[in-house]
Amino acid sequence: MKRIILLFSAIILLSSNTSAQFNLMWAKSVGGVDPDEGLNVVTDATGNIYTVGTFSGTADLDPCASTLNFTSIGDEDVYVIKQNSIGGLIWAKTFGGTNTDIPAGVGVDNSGNVYISGTYGGAIDLDPSAATFSFFTGSIEVFVSKLDASGNFVWGVSMGSGANDRATAMKVDGSGNVYTTGSFEGMMDFDPGAGTFNITPFGSGGTDVFVSKLNTNGNFVWAVNMGGVGVDDPKGIVVDALFNVYVTGSFEDVADFDTGASTFTLSSLDQQDAFVCKLDGNGAFVWAKQFGGLDRQSGTGLALEGTTNVYITGEYQNTVDLDPSAGTFTVTSTGALYSSYAVKLSSAGNFVWAKNISGSNDVLGNKIVISPAGFVYWSGYNKGIADLDPGAGTNNSNATTGFDTFVTKLDASGGYMIAESFPYVWNSFVVNTTSEIVLTGRFTLTRDFDPTATSSTITSAGSADGCIVKLNQLTTSIYENETNVSQVVIYPNPNNGSFVINAEEGSKVRVVNALGQEVAAYIISNGEQKINLNECKSGIYFLMIGSNGKQSCQKFVIAN
């Protein structure tokens, strides 16, 4: 039995050949004649969007039709923009100093307070108002600042060693604790208050990794370091609900990742290896793993699936073993060209799966994001032709004018779903509960921001502008077919969001709402799966079920 349902807008067409694509909701730009760039983005529970980036000279930081010009104090200053969910400007703030100031991350707590960390040289005024709150240094140091929900300055701190110290990533938990990672060269005082907490790097001539925790008032909680005699460089940090901290990056030679009195050393197999490590809520060492091989490897981003799994992305040259255990999972790039990888580990650091994307030229790693529905979004940059399907299929992307940004979507088992390339740079992105993607980055010249056949172009005001873009994913062409996958039972139906699915063991299930947006994903174990969608609104939903190469779609109703 097969029924074909034709719907438009709030109604979808169901077919056995499910296809999903990224669709443009809106795209905004900020900037001026000089180079400007969006670097990090987060959203809050109500859908507000917070973006940080850099600007030079005079830049219009109102992403809408109005004009809101700011002029940088030095070479590059920091901007912070808050928008509503449809892209409307709520406020924009800037701060900076005499030299180059670069934000490493932005976070928001449950009260709407905004936290920014980054790097500055010379002098910096962290108060975006007419008042001042300044720090001065003869080197490069780390700053952390807090704004309230209206963008007003609350506090700011500086940390440094008198050498070159850089913040590279940050994360904020719901209580407003700020976790910053970066690198430092000399003895550094990590207590920004009246106290002192000095840490000396392991060697000279290189850099160590640091992880610092401040509370919501900017007071010191703890700080630790990891490293050796070489250059050790973190790129990403995440914190789970139990306050465990995960960091990824790269290291050279021999590095000690035990933050306590003991040692736990890893040795790079060639020039540079990638690492991922786990610390507990007090900064104590839990475990560290490496991905090594010939030439150079690096971790560039990581994401968490609750408290159970961690996903890492990065790049490698030549050959790398992506299984950090005694087993092997070896992938190879073309000669000295870079390829990108994605690895899933359990919270205990055990290998689950790995994928790679290679091409005719460099394929670089960037970020990895896990959506609330459990899907994996893996981003990077490709030059020339790259196959964005890491499985047996092919989805070639051809970047003809420099690097494009690619995004490959996988299920939790690493199965390929969709992929797309974009002719502008994604530096940071998030995925919300309705599978909408909010991103920030940069673009040059005139770019089409609509990935569909429709055109929506924006021209940069100067050499490069910052962009803030929102995409969604609408599933189209889906048949409701009740015979492909045998013995699929949903009960009760209708339900209040809590129900049970009976299906073949190992079946992959996706929940899709009436707009075609993915809500959740599961793998059936023991022939049964209990589902809890109590937070979903009342309405019609569909179960997209795949098993043994067959597909089925089952309709059900949530009536809260």
Taking alpha carbons only, the member of 469, 480, 413 closest to residue 439 is: 469
Is the residue at 507 inside a domain? yes
Alpha-carbon gap, residue 211 to 299, rounded angstroms: 16
Q: What is the domain-level CATH number for residue 545?
A: 2.60.40.3080
Is the residue at 245 inside a domain? no
Q: Place 445 in a pLDDT band, splitting at 50, 70 and 90.
A: very high
What pLDDT, on the 0 to 100 scale, is given for residue 475?
Answer: 55
Is the residue at 506 inside a domain? yes
Report the predicted TM-score, pTM, of the whole model to 2 decimal places. Answer: 0.85
For residue 60, the cross-strand partners are: 31, 69
Alpha-carbon gap, residue 266 to 248, rounded angstroms: 14
Is the residue at 61 inside a domain? no
How do residues 253-296 score in pLDDT, each as one tens digit?
999 999 999 999 999 999 999 999 999 999 999 999 999 999 99
Alpha-carbon gap, residue 443 to 433, rounded angstroms: 27
> Nearest 5°: CA angle at 362, between 361 and 363?
120
How many domains are there within the chain?
1
Contacts of 440 (CB under 8 A, 6+ apart): 38, 39, 40, 41, 51, 53, 426, 427, 428, 429, 466, 467, 468, 469
Is the residue at 551 inside a domain? yes
Looking at residues 106-117, what average pLDDT do you find?
A: 97
Taking alpha carbons only, the member of 161, 166, 226, 235 closest to residue 196 is: 161
How do residues 40-91 score in pLDDT, each as one tens digit?
999 999 999 999 999 999 999 999 999 999 999 999 999 999 999 999 999 9
What pLDDT, on the 0 to 100 scale, is given for residue 548?
Answer: 65
What pLDDT, on the 0 to 100 scale, is given for residue 487?
Answer: 65
What pLDDT, on the 0 to 100 scale, is given for residue 170?
Answer: 98
- At residue 362, the 3 state secondary structure works out as coil
Is the residue at 418 inside a domain? no
Single-letter residue type at 33: V
What pLDDT, on the 0 to 100 scale, is given for residue 525?
Answer: 79
- Structural domain for 498, as ranges: 2-9+477-558
What pLDDT, on the 0 to 100 scale, is given for residue 266?
Answer: 97
What are the two backbone dihedrals, phi and then psi, of residue 200, each rounded to the nearest 5 degrees? Answer: -105, 130
**Least confident among 99-108, 361-370, 494-503:** 494-503
Alpha-carbon gap, residue 437 to 372, rounded angstroms: 12
What pLDDT, on the 0 to 100 scale, is given for residue 528?
Answer: 85
Q: From the CB of residue 14, how many other CB atoms can be counted at a distance below 10 Å?
A: 25
Is the residue at 271 inside a domain? no
Q: Where are the beta strands (DSSP E) in 444-502?
A: 446-448, 457-459, 465-476, 480-481, 489-491, 498-502
Q: Which two tokens stand for residue 76?
A: 């590059």
Is the residue at 130 inside a domain? no
Alpha-carbon gap, residue 468 to 471, rounded angstroms: 10
Q: Place 488 in a pLDDT band, splitting at 50, 70 and 90.
A: confident
Strands 457-459 and 178-184: unpaired
Q: Place 15 in a pLDDT band, splitting at 50, 70 and 90.
A: very low
**CA dist list (Å): 179 to 38, 53, 253:** 21, 19, 26
Alpha-carbon gap, residue 23 to 475, rounded angstroms: 10
Strands 273-279 and 254-256: unpaired
What pLDDT, on the 0 to 100 scale, is given for residue 521?
Answer: 78
**Least confident among 2-11, 178-187, 192-201, 353-362:** 2-11
Average pLDDT, whole number, for the chain?
A: 91
What pLDDT, on the 0 to 100 scale, is given for residue 481?
Answer: 41
pLDDT at 409 over 70: yes
How do residues 132-153 score in pLDDT, each as one tens digit?
999 999 999 999 999 999 999 9
